[in-house]
Chain A
């Protein structure tokens, strides 16, 4: 007898389904459905009360209609009525309808909750299970509020049936995932851990899932689960295939439970207890040994189940990353799988190896498989697998094999699937930059990229090659020669024209000596491409032309002719027209000297994180983009997940961008805030012009900002070289901060400019700007009286060990401030490492003979060194999960002190410094942000989430960063802002 009775279903339902299936067209189907909906509606609305059977039938029809993709906007009430039926089948369909089609109608939720409450209290295990299923499937906050407190009780009650315990465990897990704050921890937690010893394997499986989730937040509460999990695991892996009877799946004992147990253990570091650890290692070895045994069945299910355990075992070994012996065995095992005939196993092996490549113990072992992986990239039929192969090549790349890997990836690019081309381009660009030993190789590689896959070379990539060529004078000549040759091709990609145009405009003179690339030849080569190009490229070429006039006076007449042509001077495009007019005039009126100054070679670009790396990170999860950076702790990769401290080893294993540009040796102009965002390249051609000379003195806001912008190397910005101010009074010399200092400081957490302090004598204004770990602050001291201040001495004091965390250089100001006058003081700030307390500003002066002194907190808080990081939802969640150690998270729930306005909140969060990420949080009311705190010694990735609750006028703020103290401090700072 089949377990499902087929014959006695609902006849009306069967007839309806048959009708639908017989419909010849979509229209006929819709017509039939509408007819049925009208029928059901009238039945529900009719005055004759329906019996349970009819309700059940109609609700079932509605479910079917919903499955076909039609909206169902009624029937909820009838379904809710079914919940209170005392017949199992009616109750069951009612619950099914509710779980599939819940509606957040609060009135209904109340009724549903009521029915659930009754069923939970019924002591009828079948009804209890239905109710628990419904809570788990809906998982809404309202339900959480109503039941979160009851379910732990049901879970650990001695008299609960196994099936109820199982459902209760998963129900609680679901509620905890949806709203962790609603699930109270308590004495039940200890008893949950002991469910790992339960006789019933189903209960154990459910309990392991629950504990795995709970222990991430409260590792200490659940610590005892380690030894229990290890002994359970060890019993399973050492049991014979028949020991566990029903839980043996194709000769593999309890595969799901084993996998879950191995996952649970990955939440913890290796067991401390030597006996437990020994037992675990033994179990892991058993699993590895079993993999070598001949299969007990030819069925694919057998090998799947066995390998599911094996892969999870390998994950645990990689997670521990402490047993070189096991790591190498894991690597060998994966190596075998790389050549396995099962595509699934090849896929998973490539994926696991990616993580293995980041372990220092196994990196070398992974590298031995390079040929197999390259072969996979070339020959796999499945794009999913090829993609994993490309990921793995990226992860295993280091200086020794970079050339081989890059050339293989370039070759693959020619035939790669369109969907993954851009990603491959980014990876090649990053690897080429990271491991370039000579820059000519780098330039060749990028130009090859443009040649092979020009359409997929994003702006970031070609901007980057320009930055590097600009900053490295040893490669400029080679670059000019190479682009000149590349441009010879009859059809070359527009990106090539852009790169070529820019490089020849800057460095064309380096190859002008060769008659084959004399200035007129260079010009006519570029100009032959001009008409085929888009407006943006043509604009760039016009800039190149004016630079040619400066570089090669002999081309002046030709170029002026081109600029003068009607097609330029009267071009419909405003940008082109303006450039043509301005360049033409400039070339005719300016003297050679002025031209030479205006069109001088671009200054080196200030160093910053490779924009390509950032882009790849945005595109892919960190697993792909930064496997290498995270795992091998590359010093200067600013990865959001790592507080990465530079180590001496970076000397021998050079790391990405900074090294390549050689800026380590020659420190960049320190406070230069590097605005030359690559997007401004075209504009920057002129940014050295005399017009952009920094103006001096207190300036309006705009000028203030622009002054900070051009990276003019001649301006006295050598912050590091600045002599320390002569006499810094120790903290003991100054008074305690004024009582309102903290409040004043809070005002500046989310903004940079404003009035810091004001009393009847003095007003202190602040304007500041921060970039990366550097900042510059202007303090304006205004004398509000008509009497001169004398001995005016503002000083900055570092209390405690702040000296080692924050360097603040001040310039002395005039000792007298006339009545009604304002003096300005510039502070250069460098954040050396994370800090908690702000520096103090002590202002002392004499007013009418009386000494005045005042101590304030300088509005420099750690969040000022935020660099916002944009990322997609999936990256965010992945990172969020990675920062799941309890100490990495800080959370605060607090009452709103200001009206809860979403726009204001947004502005504050942006002011706080993190990027605001839209469409990340499933709840649009919530705010999610990400950023990196930049300090000289380390970078701290920060993720934040703010959940406003308008009803309660409360907020919940959660910060996750890679550093405990930073999490707490940021949380405190930000919590005071709302």
Chain B
């Protein structure tokens, strides 16, 4: 089982942190830091496996990591996982990110944290490998994207208008103040077209 998936940059700034075993928030942060220090001091062309830090459970757990440009992708796994299998899984995850974001870079992970989580969710679920077929994962993401567009695009406009009206203070309607409110939404809408 995968205990945790940590992505941080060369300076140790966390970019994606996902724990599948409960740790208090405080400890989660410490684990990220500890893992960063363990991985950072390793040369680039030595092996990709090392024993887990003391916080995450020591030598019963392995850290399996890959370093891509500015980012480290670290999976912390127990002995039931194949080391090379996980190494390839990291590659699948990164290649999928790359397909979804078209030339993914660190900034994508920062500004689209939610999307990154959704992609990860298609690959790993509750610490277990869910899907390894990249095309399937990308297809899922495209489907989500279509759903999002349909919800956020024109078809959603009526719903938004309704919610805007609902939120209006009824007695104020006659004064037509809310026209301005509606106008604000228009530029938002135009960009979806």
The interface of chain A, by Cβ under 8 A from chain B, is 2-9, 13-14, 17, 21, 48-49, 51-53, 60, 63-64, 66-69, 71, 87-89, 92-93, 96, 100, 102, 126, 132-133, 135-137, 139, 163, 166-167, 170-171, 173-174, 177, 201-202, 205-206, 209, 212, 246-247, 249, 255-256, 259, 263, 301, 304-305, 307-308, 311-312, 343-344, 346-348, 381-382, 384-385, 620-621, 872-874, 877-878, 881, 922
B interface SS class = helix
Residue B68 is within 8 A (CB to CB) of chain A in the complex: no
Q: Which residues of A contact B45 (CB under 8 A)?
A: 343
CB distance from A141 to the nearest CB of B (A): 11
Q: Which residues of B contact A87 (CB under 8 A)?
A: 151, 156
B82 CB contact (under 8 Å) in A88, A311, A874: A311
Told that A6-B112, A51-B167 touch, could you supply 15 new A-B pairs with CB distance under 8 A? A8-B148, A52-B163, A67-B16, A71-B25, A137-B20, A139-B126, A166-B131, A171-B126, A173-B126, A255-B85, A304-B87, A304-B88, A308-B85, A343-B47, A385-B46
Known A-B contacts A17-B110, A139-B126, A174-B127; the reply to A384 vs B51 at CB < 8 A is yes
Known A-B contacts A89-B152, A170-B125, A205-B132; the reply to A312 vs B59 at CB < 8 A is no
A874 CB contact (under 8 Å) in B29, B50, B60, B191: B60
Contact with A along B44-63 (1 / 0, CB 8 A): 01111111000001111100
Known A-B contacts A89-B148, A384-B49; the reply to A2 vs B101 at CB < 8 A is yes
A89 CB contact (under 8 Å) in B21, B92, B151: B151
Name the residue of chain A whose CB is nearest to the CB of B30: A69
Stretch of B69-77, B138-146, B170-178 lying at the A interface: B138-146
Q: Flag if B126 contacts A304 (CB, 8 Å).
A: no
The distance in angstroms between the C-alpha atoms of A385 and B45, with both chains bound, is: 13
20 residue pairs of the A-B complex, CB under 8 angstroms, read: A2-B101, A2-B102, A5-B145, A49-B166, A63-B114, A87-B151, A133-B121, A133-B125, A139-B20, A171-B126, A174-B126, A202-B133, A206-B128, A206-B130, A263-B80, A307-B84, A343-B45, A344-B48, A384-B49, A922-B22
Known A-B contacts A3-B142, A8-B191, A51-B167; the reply to A347 vs B82 at CB < 8 A is no
B141 CB contact (under 8 Å) in A3, A167, A212: A3
- B16, B50, B84: which has the most chain A beta carbons within 10 Å? B84
Q: Flag if B136 contacts A202 (CB, 8 Å).
A: yes
The distance in angstroms between the C-alpha atoms of A709 and B82, with both chains bound, is: 51
The distance in angstroms between the C-alpha atoms of A8 and B115, with both chains bound, is: 12
The distance in angstroms between the C-alpha atoms of A17 and B108, with both chains bound, is: 12
The number of inter-chain residue pairs (CB within 8 angstroms) is 214
Q: Flag if A247 contacts B132 (CB, 8 Å).
A: yes
B85 CB contact (under 8 Å) in A2, A69, A259: A259
Q: Which residues of A contact B21 (CB under 8 A)?
A: 922
Residue B37 is within 8 A (CB to CB) of chain A in the complex: no
Q: Flag if B148 contacts A259 (CB, 8 Å).
A: no
Q: Flag if B17 contacts A67 (CB, 8 Å).
A: yes
Known A-B contacts A8-B192, A246-B135; the reply to A873 vs B57 at CB < 8 A is yes
A348 CB contact (under 8 Å) in B51, B57, B84: B84
The distance in angstroms between the C-alpha atoms of A930 and B41, with both chains bound, is: 37
Q: Flag if B100 contacts A3 (CB, 8 Å).
A: yes
Q: Flag if B47 contacts A384 (CB, 8 Å).
A: yes
Residue total for B at the interface (Cβ-Cβ under 8 A): 84
Name the residue of chain B whose CB is nearest to the CB of A49: B167
Name the residue of chain A whose CB is nearest to the CB of B129: A256
B115 CB contact (under 8 Å) in A4, A48, A126, A381: A4
Q: Flag if A620 contacts B147 (CB, 8 Å).
A: no
- B57, B112, B130, B163: which has the most chain A beta carbons within 10 Å? B130
Q: Which residues of A contact B11 (CB under 8 A)?
A: none
Residue B18 is within 8 A (CB to CB) of chain A in the complex: yes
The distance in angstroms between the C-alpha atoms of A682 and B23, with both chains bound, is: 45
CB distance from B87 to the nearest CB of A (A): 6
Name the residue of chain B whose CB is nearest to the CB of A64: B113
The distance in angstroms between the C-alpha atoms of A908 and B134, with both chains bound, is: 55
Name the residue of chain B whose CB is nearest to the CB of A201: B133
Q: Flag if A136 contacts B125 (CB, 8 Å).
A: yes
Contact with A along B181-193 (1 / 0, CB 8 A): 0000000000110
The distance in angstroms between the C-alpha atoms of A343 and B142, with both chains bound, is: 38
Q: Which residues of A contact B157 (CB under 8 A)?
A: none
The distance in angstroms between the C-alpha atoms of A4 and B126, with both chains bound, is: 23
The distance in angstroms between the C-alpha atoms of A17 and B110, with both chains bound, is: 8
B114 CB contact (under 8 Å) in A21, A93, A256: A93
Q: Flag if A8 contacts B135 (CB, 8 Å).
A: no
B50 CB contact (under 8 Å) in A6, A100, A174, A384: A384
The distance in angstroms between the C-alpha atoms of A2 and B96, with both chains bound, is: 11
Name the residue of chain A whose CB is nearest to the CB of B60: A874
Known A-B contacts A4-B112, A93-B114; the reply to A344 vs B47 at CB < 8 A is yes
Q: Flag if B129 contacts A209 (CB, 8 Å).
A: yes
Q: Which residues of A contact B151 (CB under 8 A)?
A: 87-89
CB distance from B90 to the nearest CB of A (A): 10
- B57, B117, B133, B145: which has the most chain A beta carbons within 10 Å? B133
B88 CB contact (under 8 Å) in A212, A305, A878: A305
Q: Flag if B113 contacts A67 (CB, 8 Å).
A: yes
The distance in angstroms between the C-alpha atoms of A171 and B127, with both chains bound, is: 10
Q: Flag if A874 contacts B102 (CB, 8 Å).
A: no
